[in-house]
Structure 1
Amino acid sequence: MTDATADPRSGRAARDGALQRGLKKRYAREARFRFYGLFAIAIAIGFLVLLLGRIIEQGHTAFTASQITVPVYMDPARIDRDYPQGTNFQLLVAQQQLARMGVVDDAQGTQATAYRTLLSSELKFRAADLVRRDPSVIGQTVEITAPMSDDADLYYKGEITRDEDAALRRVSDRQMEWLDDLKRDGSVTSGFNTLLFTQGDSTEPELAGVLGAVVGSALMLLVTALIAIPLGVGAAVYLEEFARKGRITDLIEVNINNLAAVPSIVYGLLGLALFINFAHLPRSSPLVGGLVLALMALPTIIIATRSSLKAVPPSIREAALAMGASRTQTVFHHVLPLAMPGVMTGTIISMAHALGETAPLLLIGMVSFVPGIPGAITEPAGALPSLVYIWENASELAFHERTAAAILVLLVFMIVMNAAAILLRRRFERRW
């Protein structure tokens, strides 16, 4: 009887085959994981491009505007030298323009009224200001440059066309003919819309600008930074470096983490109850807005600062203490300076987050129409997020393109702040 011996080569081949199959499965899993990751990134980039593309498509026209330059005879019979603001310069210009074209108006002035709607009310203010500064222009013919009305501007931008139903559009066929004539004779020109960046909010779209909201947001962030940064950094330093570990500090840490996840509208309700109804601070002011956003930013700043302090190696503390430094000197002379890049990054990101908040501002009254530019933190003011909300809900079509333009301005501010955080971190970060 002979013993059957197994061929050692067959066993080795089987093991090699199993190993190869295992390697193939592992490589396949890695390839699928990379594909899923790239696919997720592609979807995110696609949605981002779609969002930005839609905003740019809708808002890029707001950065240009049409303006008219017309000769105006300052009729002494119709202009009050002492009170030029009372003169209807729009109607005066409309009648003179129709007369130059040889158009005979009816007794009700229907044609002049229709022509007047193509001119912005800014023409009236500029003409009155010219008379007030130099009364000698009365009786003379002077040229005045002013924006066109929002409907006329939309027509020149192609947003209003003859293809639309005449009953639904706000510019009639006759008005379109007048606008074409003005464009042909060079009376109307298009250029950069400086009013968008030099004016506050207005009920007339062609005169509305973002400067008031930008100043309001800047004042609000100033209040937020002056309150939230010292309190947040100080609280984080105490909790991480000086406070004794126990139930009380554990409870505080849990509450700080929970406060960071509280919806922003809750902070708006708190600000409404505490700062307006109880403390009677001025409603719709950057002071109240800054206080509310400071409460909202505090947990984020505390968490970011504590994480930065924890990242400093314990050897830094031990070396400073071994050289005779006190606990306070160790923290403020060695640990905190080394953690400062992370602290600055977390602070800037929390400020950028506060800049884009809308819900708390709605509850404290910063959604109201506020013309002009605020000059102090206690004056009524708007903010960029609330301005976007107001313009998007306006009935005039021209406000919608300005809504997208305001979003672009807000995005630029947030991109600049986030880029500053990244640059500061890369510039001062130390690798341990």
Structure 2
Amino acid sequence: MDTTAAISTRVNWHSDEMKARRKSRYAAERRLKAYGMIAIIFALGFLAFLVGSLVLTGHKAFTQTVATVNIDLTSAGVDPNDIGKADWRKIVRDSLKAQVGDLPRRQEKAFFDLFTSSAPFLVRDAVVKDPSRLKGISSFVIPLSDPADQFSKGEISRDTPERQRRITDEQIGMFDQLVSKAIISTPFNWGLFVNADSRFPELAGLAGAISGSFWSLLVCFTISFPIGIAAAIYLEEFAPKNRWTDLIEININNLAAVPSVVFGLLGLAVFLNGFGLPRSAPLVGGLVLALMTLPTLIIVTRVSLKAVPSSIREAALGIGASKHEMIFHHVLSLAMPTVMTGAIISLARALGETAPLLLIGMNAFITSMPDGIFSASTALPSQIYIWADSPERGFVSRTSAAILVLLGFLVIMNAIAIFLRQRFERRW
């Protein structure tokens, strides 16, 4: 009789003692499952609270209160050959005053403060873009100023005492008069995506930041992807196993855990002060982000190469392939889906980094979109930082809206990574 049979004959599996022990084990298993469920519920709860608070605060930034004003440019005497020299301030103000009839002179300033101070420039730029507007009456959309926009969206209550709000009772009466004439509307705020930054919340947008992030990520990917894959292939397939390669591997693993602010200091010292590259340029931002993502990309690529079965290597070598043919034609092609997933996740992390970009100056006030990697620009994370530090109340909702846009890009990039992994993943 073997040992198992001997134990079975000595133990009464149906005794009260064994039933109590089984009950205790099952109870411990149920508690473990309960702890896991509680942890997941807490995590989802915090995520829902975060996203909910951002949506609650930022959803109003996706709309903008505007006034649709008809302007007769035929009688304005604008020279078609020199549109910029016209008195657009007077043209716009006369057209705005015509919407409310006779307006006492003492009330003019309060009335014009309902509209963005850049209204003359917006009308001028629209006419420059389409000179046919000079003939006849044209309709122009003029954003309201931040206080009027906040009042229209209900963030400023008319029941609040006048001294405690940024819009006066007199201006509220003028606003109501414009509403009664169906001049005021609150459409989707496309300016949030097509405008660059501005000191006026009603005109501020993310176009410059999105463009700057795109150029920075393009530089980052162009540098880190080929270098990271080449380094991983050499360390995994060609490098001899000795203390020097062990030291390199340890340093790569340590660099993957280094805080991003350290890479920002490195970029400031080397690329700006050392090489004299332009400050606030996506080129420098991309170089810093490439240094930051390289260790992670190398580690992910090495892991994916290790995951390819050795039988693939042996079969390729057995039919006469050289080592580099075996690696590039068989091993790397099978590992590429995981490599691409790691690259996209690394780029998603780089997209959300703020500290290194602040240190190299990509938090400057830039009112135009960059036209290349050498132009001064900002990025989405640093734009969020700038708006969060702004005292104007209108930037509060725009900060949350910008965070939602950034989260949207991150979700899209991670979804692409999941799709690539599931679509091209090979199983053995």
Q: Which runs of 5+ in 2 are unaligned?
A: 1-9
Shift of 1:406: 0.9
Look up the match of 2:16: 17
Q: 1:243 to 1:231 in 2, by over 3 A?
A: same
Q: Is the 8 A contact 1:85 1:128 kept in 2?
A: no
Q: 1:14 to 1:230 in 2, by over 3 A?
A: closer
After superposition, the C-alpha distances for 1:150-201 in whole angstroms (9 at most, x for unaligned) are: 2111111101112323223111111111111111210111211111111111
> Once the two structures are aligned, what percentage of the paired residues are identical?
50
Look up the match of 1:249: 245
TM-score normalised per structure 2: 0.91
Look up the match of 1:7: none
For residue 392 of structure 1, the aligned residue among 388, 392, 413 is: 388
Shift of 1:89: 4.5
Shift of 1:145: 2.4
Match of 1:21, SS state, is helix
Q: 1:221 to 1:137 in 2, by over 3 A?
A: closer
Give the stretch that moved more between structures: 231-240 or 19-28.
19-28
Look up the match of 1:29: 28
After superposition, the C-alpha distances for 1:318-374 in whole angstroms (9 at most, x for unaligned) are: 121122211111111111111111111111100100000000000000011111111
For residue 299 of structure 1, the aligned residue among 273, 295, 300 is: 295
Q: How does 1:23-422 map to 2 (within 5 A)?
A: 23-72=22-71, 83-84=85-86, 87-89=89-91, 91-98=93-100, 100=101, 102-105=102-105, 110-129=106-125, 137=134, 143-422=139-418
Q: Is the 8 A contact 1:78 1:87 kept in 2?
A: no
Match of 2:199, SS state, is coil
Give the stretch that moved more between structures: 148-157 or 278-287.
148-157
Q: Is the 8 A contact 1:384 1:410 kept in 2?
A: yes
Partners of 2:253 and 2:125 in 1: CA distance: 57
Q: CA RMSD, aligned part only?
A: 2.3
Q: Is the 8 A contact 1:80 1:87 kept in 2?
A: no
After superposition, the C-alpha distances for 1:351-408 in whole angstroms (9 at most, x for unaligned) are: 1000000000000000111111111100001111011111111111111111111111
Q: Is the 8 A contact 1:84 1:131 kept in 2?
A: no
Match of 2:15, SS state, is helix
Shift of 1:136: 9.6
Q: Is the 8 A contact 2:67 2:143 kept in 1?
A: yes
Q: 1:208 to 1:258 in 2, by over 3 A?
A: same
Match of 2:185, SS state, is strand
Partners of 1:261 and 1:249 in 2: CA distance: 19
Q: Is the 8 A contact 1:94 1:112 kept in 2?
A: no
Q: 1:393 to 1:85 in 2, by over 3 A?
A: farther
TM-score normalised per structure 1: 0.90
Aligned partner letter, 2:123: A
Partners of 2:330 and 2:73 in 1: CA distance: 74
Give the stretch that moved more between structures: 164-173 or 398-407.
164-173
Shift of 1:103: 3.5
Partners of 1:61 and 1:344 in 2: CA distance: 37
Give the stretch that moved more between structures: 22-31 or 40-49.
22-31
**Number of equivalenced pairs:** 415
Aligned partner letter, 2:298: I
After superposition, the C-alpha distances for 1:103-135 in whole angstroms (9 at most, x for unaligned) are: 423xxxx31111111112342124334666659
Partners of 2:238 and 2:126 in 1: CA distance: 67
Shift of 1:91: 4.0
Q: Is the 8 A contact 1:352 1:417 kept in 2?
A: yes
After superposition, the C-alpha distances for 1:222-243 in whole angstroms (9 at most, x for unaligned) are: 0000000000010000000000
Shift of 1:137: 4.9
Q: 1:54 to 1:131 in 2, by over 3 A?
A: closer
Aligned partner letter, 1:380: A
Q: Is the 8 A contact 2:113 2:145 kept in 1?
A: yes
Partners of 1:338 and 1:34 in 2: CA distance: 36
Match of 1:177, SS state, is helix
Shift of 1:71: 3.8
Match of 1:70, SS state, is strand
Give the stretch that moved more between structures: 375-384 or 314-323.
314-323
Match of 1:167, SS state, is helix
Q: If you compute each CA radius of gyration, which structure gives the higher value, 1 or 2?
A: 1
Partners of 1:77 and 1:47 in 2: CA distance: 58
Look up the match of 2:6: none
Give the stretch that moved more between structures: 178-187 or 46-55.
178-187
Q: 1:16 to 1:92 in 2, by over 3 A?
A: same
Partners of 1:375 and 1:18 in 2: CA distance: 78
Q: Is the 8 A contact 1:119 1:149 kept in 2?
A: yes
Partners of 1:14 and 1:194 in 2: CA distance: 73
Q: Is the 8 A contact 1:265 1:359 kept in 2?
A: yes
Match of 2:64, SS state, is strand
Partners of 1:52 and 1:129 in 2: CA distance: 37
Aligned partner letter, 1:144: F
Q: Which runs of 5+ in 1 are unaligned?
A: 1-10
